């Protein structure tokens, strides 16, 4: 029986170890946003519609202040790729490299969101019931389960909703329901089970969350 040279075995194991080490990618360094660049880019590109501090004064344009930066970056990327369709935002997003998207998103996140208020007293109680408890007979889950009871959302998973313009929230829920906005299957499935009155009620309740 032929014996295997111990030196050969050691060499094989050594080569395997080197190969495994070489194939192990070093962890990516965490992104460090340049807030000064983010502020400059935001002022030049975003402020006209979304407000100088991310608090849009136009009900159909969303407030961006205090929104989770990961969510904002994701939306910009999806406007750019047409996964989320919006002709105006497509033009802006296409011109932004990913680093600028991140700088802008992290800067506007650092701004404090101004509180909003519910306006329709007849609907706000219905909106609260749906937001906190869902619609059981249609298997609509409670909004609070993902977006938190005070509308703060869950960073990098679910967006902040508290204080958002009701008109904007109505437009987005309707777009999800009608298949116009297609970049969240989860929201499409939820909104598909809601009628106009329920959508308006939830949106009005969200506007007053803080």
Per residue of the chain (210 residues), give pLDDT as tens. 444 454 434 443 444 444 443 455 556 677 899 999 999 999 999 999 999 999 999 999 999 999 999 999 999 999 999 999 999 999 999 999 999 999 999 999 999 999 999 999 889 999 999 999 999 999 999 999 999 999 999 998 999 999 999 999 999 999 999 999 999 999 999 999 999 999 999 999 999 999
Fold match flag (35-109 vs 121-208): yes
**pLDDT value at residue 121:** 87
Q: Supply the pLDDT for residue 122.
A: 87
Record: fold of 121-208 = Cytochrome Bc1 Complex; Chain D, domain 2 (1.10.760)
* CATH C-level class of 35-109: mainly alpha
pTM (two decimals): 0.85
Largest CA distance in the chain: 92
The CA distance from 158 to 150, in Å, is 13
Looking at residue 88, what is its pLDDT? 95
Q: Which of 74, 77, 81, 86 is nearest to 49 (CA)?
A: 86
What are the b/e assignments for 75-108, b being 16+ CB within 10 Å? bbbbbbeeebebeebbebbeebeeebbbbbbbbb
Question: Domain residues of the chain, as ranges?
Answer: 35-109, 121-208
Closest CA to 147 of 134, 157, 133, 137: 157
pLDDT of res. 14: 43
Q: How buried is residue 44: exposed, middle or buried, by Cβ count under 10 Å (0-12/13-18/19+)?
A: exposed
Alpha carbon distances (Å) from 156 to 63, 68, 159, 160? 17, 6, 8, 10
Rounded to an integer, what distance in angstroms lies between the CA atom of residue 42 and that of residue 109? 11
Q: Can you read off the two tokens belonging to residue 19?
A: 């190969």
Measured CA to CA, the distance from residue 62 to residue 84 in angstroms comes to 15
């Amino acid at each position: 029986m032929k014996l295997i040279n111990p030196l050969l075995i050691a060499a094989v194991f050594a080569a395997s170890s080197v190969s495994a080490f070489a194939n192990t990618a070093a962890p990516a360094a965490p992104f460090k946003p340049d807030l000064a660049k983010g502020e400059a880019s935001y002022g030049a590109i975003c402020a006209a519609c979304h407000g100088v501090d991310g608090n849009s004064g136009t009900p159909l344009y969303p407030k961006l202040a205090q929104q989770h930066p990961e969510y904002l970056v994701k939306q910009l990327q999806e406007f750019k790729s047409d996964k989320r369709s919006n002709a105006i935002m497509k033009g802006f997003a296409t011109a932004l490299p990913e680093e600028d998207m991140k700088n802008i998103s992290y800067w506007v996140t650092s701004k404090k969101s101004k509180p909003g208020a519910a306006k329709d007293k007849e609907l706000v109680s219905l909106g609260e019931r749906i937001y906190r408890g869902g619609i059981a007979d249609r298997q609509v889950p409670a909004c609070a389960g993902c977006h938190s009871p005070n509308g703060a959302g869950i960073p990098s998973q679910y967006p902040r909703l508290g204080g958002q313009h009701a008109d904007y929230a109505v437009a987005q829920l309707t777009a999800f329901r009608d298949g116009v906005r297609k970049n969240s299957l989860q929201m499409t499935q939820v909104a598909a089970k809601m009628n106009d009155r329920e959508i308006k009620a939830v949106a009005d309740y969200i506007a007053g969350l803080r």
